[in-house]
Amino acid sequence: MTRTAFFISDGTGITAETLGRSLLSQFENTDFHLVTKPYIDTLDKARSLVGMIEATAERDGARPIVIDTIVDQSVRAIVAEAPAFMVDIFSTFLAPLEEELATHSTYTVGRAHAMGRDDVYMHRIDAVNFALDNDDGARTHQYEEADIILVGVSRCGKTPTSLYLALQFGIRAANYPLTEDDLDENGILALPASLAKHRHKLFGLTIDVRRLAAIRTERRPNSRYCSMDQCMQEIEQAEALYRRQNIPFIDTTRFSIEEISTRMMNETGLQRRFSPR
């Protein structure tokens, strides 16, 4: 069965979508068509959205799910007229919090995702720039400044994980690709000198062979780079290196970037560089 779910907000919609996806992920036997509608911040936009929800309900033969973080009460009143099952995130949690804290919420649109303190924002940007500058082994001389150095074969998820750590947690993450250039005279993958002195910062990534071959095929089809034999050899050598050097590592095949990052931080004890406002 397929149901349509709307994530609606008079701000960016990030909170509604993030929490909404988490809630809907618990229903594995239902397929959801997801629609995000941010900046529903006028009565006209609200009325237009109600029309869209009505058309969706008629098309699907079932009322859509509406998960919203609308602050403006007049806009919410119009959206509430739609033929949908409503999940009002803010009122669900803010009312009990107001009672506990004995004060009213300010109900500010977009507050959770505003720039906030300049120092926090600039630190996040600095961490992102560091991840970009130190992507794919570009500047090994800056590893002294890194909080963590991700290592692994090409296309196993090092770059997106580095950027997520930087953007979400302000962590300075570098990454280094393990290639045939790092093989010693016996054909064994060795730890490069640029990494050896920072071994305590290293964290390895690995991946299923078939998944790696599929990803590489999209990049360079019909090449040695994407062959099963090449992928198998590289992964086996990388995992052997991790074990010899006691480098912690994680299989990225079935984990999202969010899961990879939080598991990595939990295992290494790495702390975020800032606290969200």
Whole-number Å distance between alpha carbons of 237 and 190: 9
State yes or no: 139 annotated in a binding site.
no
State yes or no: 155 annotated in a binding site.
yes
Q: DSSP readout, 74-109?
A: HHHHHHTTSSSEEEEHHHHHHHHHHHHHTS-----T
The answer to whether the CB of 199 falls within 8 A of the CB of 245 is yes
State yes or no: 137 annotated in a binding site.
no
State yes or no: 254 annotated in a binding site.
no
State yes or no: 152 annotated in a binding site.
yes
State yes or no: 30 annotated in a binding site.
no
Q: Give the CB-side neighbour count of residue 4, counting CA atoms within 13 A.
A: 20
Q: Three-state DSSP class for 275?
A: coil
**How many H helices and E strands in the chain?**
10, 8
- The conformation of residue 167, written as its DSSP 8-state character, comes to H
Instruction: Return the axis-axis angle of helices 118-133 and 158-169, rounded to nearest 10°.
Output: 170
State yes or no: 194 annotated in a binding site.
no
State yes or no: 154 annotated in a binding site.
yes
Whole-number Å distance between alpha carbons of 157 and 257: 8
Q: Which residues are annotated as a binding site?
A: 152-159
Binding residues for ADP: 152-159
